[in-house]
Amino acid sequence: MKISTLAFAVLSFTQTLVDANESGCVTTVEDGKDYFPVKAVIENSKQWAVSYETTYKIVTNVAAGETYVLYQCGTEIPTIENDGIFSIPLEEVGLYSTTQIPFLEMLGARDKIANFLGSASWISSPCMGELFDQGLFDEGMFNTSFVDNTTLARPTFVENFGGAPFLLPNEIKVSNSEEDDNLAVFEWIKFYATFFNLEETANEIFTNTKNRYTCATENAGYLSCDDKPKPVVLWGYYSSYCGGWDVATCPNYYCEFTESCQAEILSSADQGSFYSDLCYRNYMTTEEFIAFGKDADIWIYPSPDFEQTLTDFGDVLAAFVSVKKQAVYDTEGSGPNAWFEQRLVEPGKSMESDKDDANVSSS
Q: Is the peptide bond before 251 cis (omega within 30 degrees of 0)?
A: yes
- What does the pLDDT read at residue 7? 39
Quick one: which of 55, 102, 114, 61 has its CA closest to 80? 55
Start-end of CATH 3.40.50.1980 domains in the chain: 48-197, 224-351
pLDDT confidence tier of residue 164, bands split at 50, 70 and 90:
low
Q: Is the peptide bond before 165 cis (omega within 30 degrees of 0)?
A: no
Quick one: which of 295, 351, 299 has its CA closest to 330? 299
- What does the pLDDT read at residue 152? 65
Q: Is residue 286 pLDDT above 90, yes or no?
A: yes
Average pLDDT over residues 259-277: 93
Measured distance CA(139)–CA(173) in Å, rounded: 20
pTM here?
Answer: 0.84
Measured CA to CA in angstroms, residue 198 lies from 45, 273, 354 at distances of 18, 49, 30
Q: Which residues contact 49 (CB under 8 A, 6 or more apart)?
A: 42, 59, 60, 62
- What does the pLDDT read at residue 38? 97
The topology (CATH level 3) of 48-197 is Rossmann fold (3.40.50)
pLDDT confidence tier of residue 352, bands split at 50, 70 and 90:
very low
Q: Is residue 316 pLDDT above 60, yes or no?
A: yes
Q: Beta strand 298-301 with 232-239: parallel, antiparallel or unpaired?
A: parallel
> Among the residues of 242-285, which ranges form H helices?
253-260
Please state, rounded to an integer, the average pLDDT across all residues of the chain.
85
Q: Is residue 220 pLDDT above 80, yes or no?
A: yes
Q: Is residue 361 pLDDT above 50, yes or no?
A: no
Q: Is residue 239 pLDDT above 70, yes or no?
A: yes
- Was domain 224-351 assigned CATH 3.40.50.1980? yes
Measured distance CA(11)–CA(158) in Å, rounded: 21
- 20-53 pLDDT, tens digit each: 899 999 999 999 999 999 999 999 999 999 999 9
